[in-house]
């Protein structure tokens, strides 16, 4: 049997779509565990109503403790041999479980990973892994680095796991806990299968919440932790020296935080410039920034000015980029209507 764990928080508008996408799977041997994480918008009631209509649904209500705690509750409640996570505002293709289960059986894999549709502010951006196939762990180093670089390893929701091998998410982290969870699982794996099909739909709307300057600094420290742990994982598994693709993810995190600044209405301009200046003077950026393999043109341009400690120019470019991105996504949405 397969267990699907869905953490639920303030998801009244999207929850039925998510659950329906699992109830109509072409494989029926599954249980759906809805963990209501202290919702106050009626999501808990919807969970109970869905469970009353279909015996495959189990509902657990708990006080609000965060998505990692909700996933941990789901892991403990699950009884299937294999487990999949889905976020309550996302959904999956009707053939998702059938294809991932078939890939697991065919190769006796311990982890199956697939591509996904990134629905960004209404625009569909398909993300399909460039590497696909099955690898023994001792030959998985290069595919691992490629998948890590392109952000297929971070999340838990595009993967099929063996339930009994799962550890718990670190509830004390606000960034990187998903990747650390996946690395802990990969340490136990013998085989990994990667499917090129886009079987999940990841919904991301324009950022509705903003971060304080303090929390932004914390996020960069957590990004540094993730970088160190990933480099340590590769050294343990394959004896690898630090690869530039791992550090590139740290640089991407820094530049991504800079690009979010124009949308943050809680920070004053002076605070934003000081944050950019802090990034420019980050010891890792100063010592290792030239190692980064920045593929996106906007990141390369920002890095040109960031390494020269020119925060005002970096901020102006971030503002221009935000306008350009909004225009591109509006054009994409119109084409897809």
Least confident of 87-91, 112-116, 140-144, 325-329: 325-329
Report residue 203: phi and psi, to 5°.
Answer: -95, 125
pLDDT tens digits, 275-292:
999 999 999 999 999 889
Rounded Cα distance, 22 and 199, in Å:
12
Least confident of 46-60, 199-213, 219-233: 199-213
pLDDT tens digits, 44-91:
999 999 999 999 999 999 999 999 999 999 999 999 999 999 999 999
The predicted model gives 123-128 an average pLDDT of: 92
Is the CB of residue 121 less than 8 Å from the CB of residue 329?
Answer: yes
- For residue 108, pLDDT beyond 80: yes
Q: Residue 236 — pLDDT band, cuts 50, 70, 90?
A: very high
Rounded Cα distance, 258 and 173, in Å:
21
- For residue 174, pLDDT beyond 90: no
User: Any residues with CB less than 8 A from the CB of 67 and at least 6 apart, and which?
Assistant: 7, 9, 37, 87
The predicted model gives 174-202 an average pLDDT of: 96
- For residue 15, pLDDT beyond 50: yes
- For residue 183, pLDDT beyond 90: yes
CA dihedral 195, 139, 178, 248 (to 10 degrees): -100
DSSP state for residue 253 in the 8-state scheme: H
The predicted model gives 27-42 an average pLDDT of: 96
The ranges of the chain annotated as CATH 3.90.550.10 are 2-204
Q: What percent of the chain has pLDDT over 70?
A: 96
Rounded Cα distance, 44 and 10, in Å:
9
Q: Which CATH superfamily is domain 2-204 in?
A: Spore Coat Polysaccharide Biosynthesis Protein SpsA; Chain A (3.90.550.10)
CB count within 10 Å of CB 112 equals: 26
Q: Which helix (H) or strand (E) holds 148?
A: helix 141-149
User: Any residues with CB less than 8 A from the CB of 166 and at least 6 apart, and which?
Assistant: 75, 83, 185
Mean pLDDT, the chain, whole residue set: 93
CB count within 10 Å of CB 42 equals: 14
Read off the tokens for 134: 């099955």
């Amino acid at each position: 049997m397969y267990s699907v764990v869905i953490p639920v928080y303030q998801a009244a508008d999207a929850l039925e779509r998510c659950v329906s996408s699992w109830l109509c799977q072409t494989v029926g041997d599954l249980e759906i565990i809805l963990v209501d994480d202290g919702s106050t918008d009626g999501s808990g009631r919807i969970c109970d109503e869905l469970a009353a209509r279909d015996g495959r649904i189990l509902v657990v209500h708990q006080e609000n403790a965060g998505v990692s705690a909700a996933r941990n509750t789901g892991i403990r409640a699950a009884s299937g041999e294999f487990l999949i996570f889905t976020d309550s505002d996302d959904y999956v293709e009707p053939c998702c479980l059938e294809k991932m289960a078939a890939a697991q059986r065919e190769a006796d894999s311990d982890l199956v990973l697939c591509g996904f549709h990134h629905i960004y502010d209404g625009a569909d951006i398909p993300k399909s892994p460039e590497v696909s196939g099955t690898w023994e762990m001792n030959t998985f180093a290069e595919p691992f680095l490629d998948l890590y670089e392109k952000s297929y390893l971070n999340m838990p929701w595009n993967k099929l796991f063996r339930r009994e091998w799962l550890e718990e998410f670190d509830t004390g982290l606000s960034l990187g806990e998903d990747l650390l969870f996946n690395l802990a699982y990969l340490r136990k794996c013998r085989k990994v299968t990667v499917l090129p099909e886009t079987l999940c739909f990841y919904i991301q709307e324009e950022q509705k919440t903003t971060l304080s300057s303090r929390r932004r600094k914390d996020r960069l420290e957590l990004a540094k932790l993730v970088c160190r742990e990933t480099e340590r994982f590769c050294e343990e598994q394959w004896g690898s020296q630090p690869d530039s693709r791992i550090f590139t993810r740290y640089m991407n995190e820094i530049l991504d935080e800079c690009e979010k600044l124009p949308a943050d209405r809680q920070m004053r301009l002076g605070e934003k410039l000081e944050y950019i200046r802090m990034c420019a003077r980050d010891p890792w950026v100063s010592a290792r920034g030239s190692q980064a393999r920045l593929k996106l043109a906007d990141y390369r341009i920002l890095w040109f000015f960031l390494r020269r400690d020119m925060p005002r120019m970096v901020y102006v470019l971030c503002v221009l980029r935000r306008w350009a991105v909004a225009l591109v996504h509006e054009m994409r949405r119109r084409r897809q209507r």
